[in-house]
């Protein structure tokens, strides 16, 4: 079993690296952001409850995301998972421990994607996502072959509504408010591995693979 958490600021590249790791290890990429956006798209009750928090760059209340993850993990039939964007606060980490304990599982490693603020802003402002398959591009760092069109499925690329400057700033502030206790929690558990996420996508991926191999997790 391989169970990982990817931790880091918005725009650190968690989604990009999670997709790469997920393919390599054939374990699912579980992103609370993607799950919530799916609910928004369906206009479900849960989506309606989450909408204004997401548009403002605030955290969706714990009871909603904790329940969502609990259900997703209970239905996981694969040999592990990669959590991206969860937990985001110490309270969520505690809820996750409880959920995993109930099914005699535990997290193997927490990869912390350390990233500078200017880099985060540049990455988020230039991000484009496929409406159809969720593939992630960047207008400069990872452009699609044809502008506005996904390389994988020819779906339409769009800019997330929370990737606007003012919302990005708020998301960073929310992140900074919550991150210290979370880092302490996983440092105390001896699970935290720090990654320099300022580097290129390929360099970050290489570093992640080396670090996981060193810990016999590959």
Q: Which residues here bind ligand AP5, judged by CB under 6 A?
A: 8, 10-16, 31-33, 36, 53-54, 57-60, 65, 85-86, 88, 92, 123-124, 126-127, 136-138, 141-142, 162, 171, 199-201, 204
> Of the two residues 79 and 131, which places its CB atom closer to ligand AP5 in the complex?
131
Confirm whether 128 is a catalytic residue: no
> Of the two residues 112 and 137, which places its CB atom closer to ligand AP5 in the complex?
137
Let me know: does 193 contact 180? Beta carbons within 8 Å.
no
Closest distance to ligand AP5 from the beta carbon of 102 (Å): 19
Closest distance to ligand AP5 from the beta carbon of 15 (Å): 3
> Of the two residues 138 and 191, which places its CB atom closer to ligand AP5 in the complex?
138
Confirm whether 165 is a catalytic residue: no
Residues with catalytic function: 14, 88, 127, 160, 171
């Amino acid at each position: 079993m391989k169970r990982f958490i990817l931790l880091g600021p918005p725009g650190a590249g968690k989604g990009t690296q999670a997709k790469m790791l997920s393919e390599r290890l054939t374990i699912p990429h579980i992103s609370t952001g993607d799950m919530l956006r799916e609910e928004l798209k369906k206009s479900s009750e849960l989506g309606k409850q989450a909408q204004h928090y997401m548009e403002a760059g605030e955290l969706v209340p714990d009871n909603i995301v904790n329940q969502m993850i609990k259900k997703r993990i209970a239905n996981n039939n694969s040999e592990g998972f990669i959590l991206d964007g969860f937990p985001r606060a110490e309270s969520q980490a505690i809820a996750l421990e409880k959920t995993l304990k109930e099914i005699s599982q535990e997290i193997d490693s927490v990869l912390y994607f350390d990233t500078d603020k200017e880099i985060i802003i540049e990455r988020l402002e230039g991000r484009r996502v496929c409406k159809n398959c969720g593939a992630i591009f960047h207008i400069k760092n990872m452009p699609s072959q044809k502008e506005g069109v996904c390389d994988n499925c020819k779906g339409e690329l769009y800019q997330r509504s929370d990737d606007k400057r003012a919302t990005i700033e708020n998301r960073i502030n929310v992140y900074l408010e919550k991150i210290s206790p979370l880092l302490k929690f996983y440092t105390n558990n001896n699970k935290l591995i720090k990654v320099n996420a300022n580097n290129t996508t390929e360099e970050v991926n290489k570093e992640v693979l080396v670090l996981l191999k060193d810990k016999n997790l590959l």
